[in-house]
Chains A and B, each alone.
Chain A
Amino acid sequence: SQKIEQNSEALNIQEGKTATLTCNYTNYSPAYLQWYRQDPGRGPVFLLLIRENEKEKRKERLKVTFDTTLKQSLFHITASQPADSATYLCALDRSGGSNYKLTFGKGTLLTVNP
Chain B
Amino acid sequence: SAVISQKPSRDICQRGTSLTIQCQVDSQVTMMFWYRQQPGQSLTLIATANQGSEATYESGFVIDKFPISRPNLTFSTLTVSNMSPEDSSIYLCSVEDLSYEQYFGPGTRLTVT
Task: Spell out A's residues near B (CB within 8 Å).
Answer: 4, 32, 34, 36, 41-46, 49, 89, 91, 93, 100-102, 104-107
- Determine whether B53 belongs to the interface, using a CB cutoff of 8 Å to chain A: no
**Distance between Cα atoms of A50 and B105 in the complex (Å):** 23
For the residues of A in contact with B, the DSSP-based class is strand
Q: Are B42 and A104 in contact (CB under 8 A)?
A: yes
Q: Are B104 and A43 in contact (CB under 8 A)?
A: yes
Q: List 28 A-B contacts (CB under 8 A).
A: A4-B42, A32-B100, A34-B100, A34-B101, A34-B102, A36-B102, A41-B107, A42-B106, A42-B107, A43-B4, A43-B106, A43-B107, A44-B92, A44-B104, A46-B101, A49-B99, A49-B101, A89-B42, A89-B43, A100-B96, A100-B100, A101-B45, A102-B45, A102-B102, A104-B43, A104-B44, A105-B42, A106-B41
**Distance between Cα atoms of A102 and B24 in the complex (Å):** 21
Using a Cβ cutoff of 8 Å, how many contacts connect chains A and B? 49
Which B residue's beta carbon lies closest to that of A106?
Answer: B42
**Distance between Cα atoms of A32 and B100 in the complex (Å):** 9
Q: B residues within 8 A CB of A43?
A: 4, 92, 94, 104-107
Q: B residues within 8 A CB of A89?
A: 42-43
Which A residue's beta carbon lies closest to that of B45?
Answer: A101
Q: In whole Å, how far is B28's beta carbon from the nearest beta carbon of chain A?
A: 17
> What class of interface size applies to chain B in its complex with A?
20 to 34
Q: B residues within 8 A CB of A46?
A: 101-103
Q: In whole Å, how far is A72's beta carbon from the nearest beta carbon of chain B?
A: 18
Q: In whole Å, how far is B87's beta carbon from the nearest beta carbon of chain A?
A: 19
**Distance between Cα atoms of A91 and B101 in the complex (Å):** 11
**Distance between Cα atoms of A43 and B4 in the complex (Å):** 10
**Distance between Cα atoms of A1 and B69 in the complex (Å):** 28
Q: Are B43 and A44 in contact (CB under 8 A)?
A: yes
Q: Are A107 and B48 in contact (CB under 8 A)?
A: no
**Distance between Cα atoms of A41 and B108 in the complex (Å):** 9
